[in-house]
Amino acid sequence: MDKIPTEILVCPKNKRPLEDAPEELLKILNKEIEQSRLNNIAGEPVNQPFSAGYIESVDKIFYPIIDDIPVLIYELAIRY
């Protein structure tokens, strides 16, 4: 699946634009997952590594792309 153009994506919490998550952030988050130290905003542990996602850079929120589907549910997002 092709990525959705970021010009049409906004954060569901604050309506700010989303950007592609940088590779360095994905590495950091995946390391936290590997060490069982990453929870989503709802407080649930995150167990699956990420290969892509979107960020809202002001409030520092990461929305993962899982199985080619952007998961734009605030409670499932991650603060970074």
Give me the pLDDT at residue 7, please: 78
Q: Look at residue 49 and tell me if it is in a domain.
A: yes
| pTM exceeding 0.85 | yes
Q: Look at residue 42 and tell me if it is in a domain.
A: yes
Q: Look at residue 14 and tell me if it is in a domain.
A: yes
Give me the pLDDT at residue 3, please: 66
pLDDT digits (tens, 9 = 90+) for 10-57: 999 999 999 999 999 999 999 999 999 999 999 999 999 999 999 999
Nearest residue to 31 via CA among 42, 23, 41: 23
Give me the pLDDT at residue 13, please: 96
Q: Look at residue 18 and tell me if it is in a domain.
A: yes
Q: Look at residue 15 and tell me if it is in a domain.
A: yes
Tally of structural domains, the chain: 1
Contacts of 67 (CB under 8 A, 6+ apart): none
Which range marks the domain in which residue 19 is found?
6-79
The answer, yes or no, to whether residue 1 has pLDDT greater than 70, is no
